[in-house]
Amino acid sequence: MKLCLSIAPNSMQEAISQLRKHRDPSDLIEVRIDGIHDLKLERLLRQPRPRLIITNRRKTEGGKFTGSADRQFEILSEAIDFGAEYIDVEQSWGNNFLKKIQSIAGRTKIILSYHNYKETPDNLFKIYNSMRKSGFSILKIATTANDILDNKKIFSLLNRSKSDGIKLIGICMDEFGQISRILGGVYGGYLTFASPNNDETTASGQISYDDMDSVFNVGSRNRKTKIFGLIGNPVKYSQGIYYHNDKFRRKKCNAVYVNFLVNDLTKFLKIYRDAFSGFSITMPFKKDIVTHLDKIDNDIKELNIVNTVLNKRGKLSGYNTDFLGLNEILKKYIHIKNKKVIVIGTGAISKTMAYSAISNGADVTIIGRSLIKAKSLAKQLGCNSASLNELLNLRADLLMNGTSVGMKGANQNRLVPKKFFQNKPIVFDAVYNPVITPLLHEAQAAGCKIISGKELFETQAKFQSDLFMSILK
């Protein structure tokens, strides 16, 4: 699958400057010319330069062009005359316009586009079949994903186009649709777009060129690529895409790891279960995933929480590498047997923290903003419980936070009063973005030894990677 950088300069100077950074003739760049106020196509298309797609999107199509249809034709005709490798035209411009531009295309390849900025409609195959009849070189269908499941419609369409021998660019826009930009090549997609960086996108959900090229290696994705990923909500701050894709690249595996932003786990697995070789599970699905598994690792049956799943010949097996990572980290920092441990939170990672400490002989107290939830979890694990308001009355050798408080983009309220740090407990925060959370910052300032969530992430990721690699052998 080809990777195309998409740029939207405001002036010729900006356009030429951006093109000079990509002098390799093999590079492919889409130039959105509708925002260039001093457009000079002869200069823009002057060689040497990379291969270009010239796109002049109208204002009603999310662009900036406000001229007439005749002026639109003149501009695209000039692009053809000056040697543009591709031009992009919209199906909505009508048959007369399209036939007229097709008749003068010469060596220029025309991309016939359909955009839907509201949804991914159910009649995509009907739209596709209508576009096929036009005889254009390349078809592009870009829709809006309102749920992760919408990508399946695009993937099915890409499979069909591959069988038909049609070059199709199939993309779902917005965050739910990002996987379509990465995995299109697995299903036979012709091309995908990337942005210069995360702040200069020309369409919602675009991913930076560097990430698409260096992290996801989209140009090498094909039907033999094994798919791994993170299932959760939210997922955009996860670092797993960097860790696991780097490991795949170093081991020369034809595999990719992507983020799946999921609303409904049951519906997602019904559609995508067979597409995976393995996946990571994060909040809020570490408990919910268990009911979908065929097998669970014996060491965590009592814990009943899973963060890693392998698809072995169609059977899903669950593991908890957080538990393995926590055990390793606790042994590194503290002789935990008979030590007093406080765990803040009642979610999956908090339960795993408490279970690990109890398994290693610690005296554990679970603290919850909801005392009812704290008591319920403590009863399951056979340990103590208390409310957050009681924290100052307790002593701890080790304090562990399993909540999302302090995570980038999440609640930043203080969980632990500064006075609590006077007895110098070790403080461990599961949050790893940022590395030094407000909790760790205050604990460190008070002279406490700290353990970052980054260390937990990297430690559990090593165990997780070993499991993923076992599928690829």
- Asked if 70 contacts 43 with a C-beta cutoff of 8 angstroms, the reply is no
Q: Hey, what's the torsion of the CAs at 328, 334, 340, 342, to 10 degrees? A: -50
Please report the beta strands in 56-204, taking only residues with DSSP state E, as ranges in sequence order: 86-90, 109-116, 138-144, 167-173, 191-194
Q: Which of 108, 143, 106 is nearest to 124 (CA)?
A: 143
Q: Where are the alpha helices (DSSP H) in 360-449?
A: 371-381, 438-445
The answer to whether the Cα torsion of 116, 267, 169, 248 is positive or negative is positive
Among 247, 286, 340, 351, the one annotated catalytic: 286
Say what angle helices 371-381 and 348-359 make with each other, to 10 degrees.
40
**Lateral strand order in the sheet of 226-232:** 255-261, 226-232, 278-281, 308-312, 315-319, 295-296
In angstroms, the CA 202 to CA 186 distance is 24
Could you give the dihedral angle defined by the CA atoms of residues 455, 459, 464 and 467, in that order, rounded to the nearest 10 degrees?
170
Q: Does the active-site annotation cover 286?
A: yes
Structure tokens at 281: 């599970």
Structure tokens that stand for 183 in this block:
């995995």
| Enzyme catalytic residues | 286
